[in-house]
Structure 1
Amino acid sequence: MSIITAPFGADAAALLMGEGELTFLGAAVLLVATQIALLLVSWLFVFRPGALAALPSLPGRDPGGAIRAGLGWGILAWIGATAASAGVVWVLESLGIAAEPQAAERAIQILDPWLVILAVVILAPIAEEVFFRGVVFNAWLREGGRRWAFIGSSALFALIHASIVALVPIFLLGLALAWIYQRTGNLLAPIAMHAMVNGVSVALALLVRFDVVRLPV
C-alpha cells in the first residue's frame, strides 16, 4: 500500500491536512479508512481462507445476553477509561507536556454528527472488535496462551490509535473488551461495550460542540 500511495503522499497530505489543520475530507477519511482496512484484512487473510476455523461466529450463543452484558459493562468501562485519561493528562501537564487532542477528536468537531455516529459508534466498534478480539486475540490465544492474548491484542489496539494521551486508557479498555469477549464467547459483547464507550464519548463531544453543555475553562 505504501508503494502505491508514496508518489501522491505530499498531495494527499496537503489535501487532508490543509495548512497544518485537519480538513473536512481529511476528517472523513480518518474516521473510516482504518476501520475499512481492518475489515478487509480480516476478510481476505483470515475469514476467507479459514485461518481461524474455530473462531466463534456472529451472532454466537445468546446474542441478546451478550449485547446486554456489553452495554452494561460498557458504562463502567467508559468511566474507567475517562478516569485513566484524566490521570494521564494530569501527569503530562505536571511534566510540562501539552496533551494534544487526538485527530479523531478534532474530526468530531467538524464533521456532520450523523457521519460521526455512523463511523465512531457503529463502524469502528464492529471493525475493531472483529479484528482485535476476533482475529488478534484468538490467534494469540492459540499460539501464546491466555495471558499473551490479553496483553498482545490490547497493546495493538492501543498502538493503532496513535495517541500518547490515550495509550494507557485504550490499553486498559482493550483488556476489558478482551475479558468480556472471553467471558461470553460472543463478539457481540465487546462490540456492544465498544459502541457504548464510543457512544457516550461522542454524545458528550457533540453536546459541547453545539454549546448544549459548556465545560469549565
Structure 2
Amino acid sequence: MQIADQDPIPTVQVADADAASSVITPDSPPWNLVTGFLVWVASVAAIFVFPLLVMIPYFLITREAMPDDPSNDSRVILLSLIGVIPAHIFTLIVAWPVVTGGRGLDPKKTLGFNFGAVRWWMLPLVAAAFFALAYGVTAIFPEQDNDVLRIIRSSRTAAVVLAFVATFFAPVVEEVVYRGILYSALLKKAGTTVAVILVTLMFAGIHYPQYWGSPGSIILITLLSLILTLTRTVSGNLLPCIVLHLIFNGVQAVSIIAAVISGEDISAPVDSLQGLFR
C-alpha cells in the first residue's frame, strides 16, 4: 500500500514540471540565440542592401551620373532614406515567423505587449530626464558634424522622410529586433547581465557610424540604448521599450517638421536638435 500510495506523486510532479517548461513568455521565448542572431544580421544587411536597390535603378533609369561624393549628394541621401522603408518592412517579415514560433503563437505574448512593472506615466518622465541630461552632455561635448545632421541639412524632403521613418518604423522594428528577439534569446541563454550589456552595445554600436566624430552623440546613443534595455529588463515586456523609443524619436521629429513648416533654414547647422535625433 505504501508503494501504491507513493507512485502517483512523482508522476504529477513531472507533469507539472513539463507544463512549466513549456510556458512561453518574453523571458522564455520559443526561439534560440542562433535564430535571434540571424534576425539581427538580416536587419543590419537590409539597411545596407535596400537603399542600394532603390538608388541604383534610379541612376540607371535617369542616366544621371553618380555623384563624386555620394555622402553629400541630396539625391543619394533622399533615395537612401526611402530605401530604409522596405528594409524595415523586410525585417518585420523575417521576424514574424520567429516571434510566432512558426506555429501561430501570439506575438503579443512572445514579445510582451504589457507594461509589466513599469507604469505608462513613468516613460515621459524618463524621456524628459534624458533630454535634460542630453543638453548637459552637449554643453560639455559640443555637437560635431555627423551623418544625421548632414541628412537633415541636405533637403527639406529628406528631413521629412527621416522624421517619418524614425517615428513610424524605427521604434517598432528596432525594438522587435534588439529588445524583443535578441534580448530574449540572450536572457534565456546567458542571463540578465550578459543580455543587458550585449544588447546595449549592439544597438548603440550599429548607430555609432552615424555619429562618428561627435563624442557627445556617441555617449548619448549609448545611454539611450542602456535606458531602453533596462526598461525591457524591469518591465519584462517589449511594449514600454517601443513607447519610450517612440517618445524619443517623436520629440525630435516634431522639431524637424516644425522647422520645415516654419521655413527655417535647415541648411544651417541644426544646433537646436543637439544631435539627439535617433
TM-score under structure 2 normalisation?
0.57
CA change 1:112–1:61 in 2 (3 A) is closer
Question: Who is 2:243 aligned against?
Answer: 192
Select which of 215, 226, 235 maps to 1:175. Answer: 226
Alignment counterpart, residue 254 of structure 2, candidates 194, 199, 203: 203
Residue 81 of structure 2 corresponds to residue 27 of structure 1:
yes
Q: 1:192 to 1:216 in 2, by over 3 A?
A: closer
Which residue in 2 is equivalent to 1:151? 197
* CA distance in structure 1 between the partners assigned to 2:224 and 2:218 by the alignment: 10
Contact 2:116/2:236 (<8 A) preserved? no
State whether residues 115 and 239 of structure 2, in contact with CA within 8 Å, keep that contact through their aligned partners in structure 1: no
Shift of 1:86: 5.8
Change (3 A) 1:28 1:213: same
Q: Which residue number corresponds to residue 135 of structure 1?
A: 181
- Output one character per residue of 1:113-168: Cα deviation in whole Å (capped at 9) or x when no partner: 4x555421122111111111011111121222222211111111122223223433
Change (3 A) 1:44 1:82: farther
Distance 1:37 1:83 in 2: 38
Output the CA distance in 2 between the equivalents of 1:174 and 1:202: 19
* Structure 1 partner of 2:157: 110
SS at match of 1:209: helix
1:193 is displaced (CA, Å) by 0.8
Determine if contact 1:67/1:188 at 8 Å carries over to the other structure: no
| In structure 2, C-alpha distance between the alignment counterparts of 1:108 and 1:68, rounded to whole Å | 36
1:78 pairs with one of 131, 138, 141:
131
Q: Distance in 1 between matches of 2:141 and 2:88?
A: 26
Q: Residues 213 and 66 (structure 1 numbering): CA distance in 2 closer, same or farther, change over 3 Å?
A: farther
Tell whether the 8 Å contact from 1:158 to 1:168 is kept in structure 2 after alignment: no
Q: How far apart are the structure 1 equivalents of 2:174 and 2:206? A: 10
Residue identity (%): 20
Work out which structure has the larger RCO, using CA pairs closer than 8 Å and 6 or more positions apart in sequence.
Answer: 1
Partner SS state of residue 146, structure 2: coil
* One-letter code aligned to 1:25: L
For these two proteins, the number of residue pairs brought into alignment is 203
Compute the RMSD of aligned alpha carbons.
Answer: 4.1
Distance 1:196 1:145, change over 3 A: same
Is the contact between residue 127 and residue 247 of structure 2 (CA under 8 Å) also seen in structure 1? Answer: yes
Whole-angstrom distance in 2 between the partners of 1:136 and 1:121:
22
CA change 1:154–1:192 in 2 (3 A) is same
The answer to whether the 8 Å contact 2:112/2:239 transfers is yes
Structure 1 regions of 5+ residues with no counterpart? 91-97
